[in-house]
Amino acid sequence: MTDCVFCKIIAGEIPGTLVFQDGQVTAFRDLNPAAPTHILIVPNQHIASINSLADQDEALVGHLFTAARQIAAQEGIAEGGYRLIINTNAHAGQTVFHLHLHLLGGTPLKYPMG
């Protein structure tokens, strides 16, 4: 998608503070962090939301989570704990319509959510 900000970050067309990238996913720091560590993990393939997933995307979604585990360890927050969030559509707060996983940590997080 030519107008998708996340696609532009993945392609290197606009800057992003990358912390991880491979053939399937890219991870970068959120510009408006909600925690000391706030990283967005996105598939390199443009998928608008969870509602847009196809059956063949199952392995890709699994890779988002294994990348999150690896990044949490790399960031030094795995042992203390972290939260993973996916917002889907407007009522959930999705503002960029490119599937993304929020990795939050580095401090005790509030509970309950919502």
- Catalytic residue positions? 100
Q: What is the DSSP string of the chain?
A: -TT-HHHHHHHTSS---EEEE-SSEEEEE-SS-SSSEEEEEEESS----GGG--GGGHHHHHHHHHHHHHHHHHTT-TTT-EEEE---SGGGT--S-S--EEEEESSPPPSS--
pTM equals 0.95
Domains, the chain, in order of start with CATH, read 5-85 (3.30.428.10)
Q: What is the pLDDT of residue 112?
A: 84
Going residue by residue through the chain, which has 114 residues, state the pLDDT in tens, using 9 for 90 and above: 679 999 999 999 999 999 999 999 999 999 999 999 999 999 999 999 999 999 999 999 999 999 999 999 999 999 999 999 999 999 999 999 999 999 999 999 998 886
